[in-house]
Amino acid sequence: MASSDGKTRDLVTNIAGAGWDFGLTRHRFHEIERPLGPRYCVYNRRLMACCFENRSTIDGYWLLRQKAVVLNTGELPLQFKGPDAERLLDKLFTKDITKLKIGRCAYGLACYEDGGLLVDGILLRLTKDCFWYGQADGDFYSWARAHAVDLDVEITDPKIFISQVQGPNAMKVLAAASDDGMPDPFGYFAMTRVRFGGQELVITRTGYTNELGWEFYTEPQHDANALWNHLKQAGEPYGIDISGLDSFNIRRIEAGILNAGSDFDHTTTPYDVGLGVFVDEKKDNFIGQLALKLCSKETRLIGLLCEAEPHIGGHIMIDGQTIGKVTAGAVSPYLQQGIGIALIQKSGSLPDTAVSVGCIDGQMHKGKLAELPLYDKSGAIQRGTVTEVPVRN
């Protein structure tokens, strides 16, 4: 039986005792989160906080929209190092990796031979022959190892943990926390190194919300407690605090940011879910290239607006006929209605088309298809060209 009936869910918590959690890894900030009453999902065999007893999901959402919030993620950075690192990654990813400059990062998709999506994530180029790939949940390590035979490249887990700082005050927090002030330049998808309280760390101009924000990479040599205390002190004037994935999930649906394993999987191509722009069909051979050349280029993924909260896996119907399914659902405090993402069986469904949507109460509710993102179509918020902070409804 699949999990998530729309009424209950299975999350992980901390209890006294030992044993049977040896396959799980805790974030470096686990002890900082523990007093807040975290409830975890398992992501890349890492614990990632979905929610906390000390703050509601809605309060966390408004902290993200109005101030600044930290999410300690379960993303798994893998390191690719050696003379053939670029060659391997260019084979694994649909984008032309040879064009990625040192000190930059890029969104990277990997496909199976039939064009189905395996995983997505952020690829960083630290040096000519060294890359980090912060992958979403998935079996990418074994896939990469299998395709690295006879190549001079070492693939390792460098035991790095990724955290996000997102919200309208995120850059103010960065400027205050950096020993040398705001890094310049630090444009969208930039990567750089900064010092926080004397500790040097890698940061990127990326995130999971389409809010203004950045991410930082905690490495094994870092003093995690000192790092957090420094960031917390610098960010206090700007309202910084920790929140969970549930709060971020609402915002990522509004923004049309996809989740590996639910919004796309091995049965969907990049084109099916609107990610065809990240496929360079004309570059040298990569896994899935032939299949992607021959497949349909039409998008079947679309947004949803609804009078109730859509249920993941719920039917999307017109005149009693199922036309698709819900892949993500929430209630937006900003839009004050149910929102979601839907995968339609056939392309061609247009925004504003009236539909019935299966919702978490077990009932079908009125809704309509909608263009993604659901607002801020130009991405002005994440680029910092819009500074107006929304008012809590």
pLDDT tens, 32-91?
Answer: 999 999 999 999 999 999 999 999 999 999 999 999 999 999 999 999 999 999 999 999
> Of all residues in the chain, what percent carry a pLDDT higher than 70?
99
3 pLDDT exceeds 80? no
The predicted model gives 268-295 an average pLDDT of 96
Q: How confident is the model at residue 5 (pLDDT cuts 50, 70, 90)?
A: confident
What residues have CB less than 8 Å from 311, skipping those under 6 apart?
6, 326, 329, 358, 359, 360, 362
pLDDT tens, 81-123?
Answer: 999 999 999 999 999 999 999 999 999 999 999 999 999 999 9
2 pLDDT exceeds 80? no
Residue pair 192/178 in contact (Cβ under 8 Å)? The answer is: no
pLDDT of res. 309:
98
pLDDT of res. 320:
94
For 295, the token pair is 């497949």
Of 203, 285, 256, 297, the residue nearest 379 (C-alpha): 256
Range 225-230, long-range pairs (CB < 8 A, 24+ positions): 225/31, 225/32, 226/197, 226/199, 227/196, 227/197, 227/199, 227/201, 228/29, 228/32, 229/197, 230/177, 230/196, 230/197, 230/199
d(CA 13, CA 104): 37
For 374, the token pair is 């659901």
Q: How confident is the model at residue 6 (pLDDT cuts 50, 70, 90)?
A: confident
Q: Which pTM does this prediction carry? A: 0.97
Write down the residue that tokens 């040896």 correspond to.
22
Instruction: Give me the chain's average pLDDT, please.
Output: 96
163 pLDDT exceeds 70? yes
Q: How confident is the model at residue 1 (pLDDT cuts 50, 70, 90)?
A: low
Q: How many CB atoms lie within 10 A of CB 320?
A: 7
Name the residue type at position 88.
L
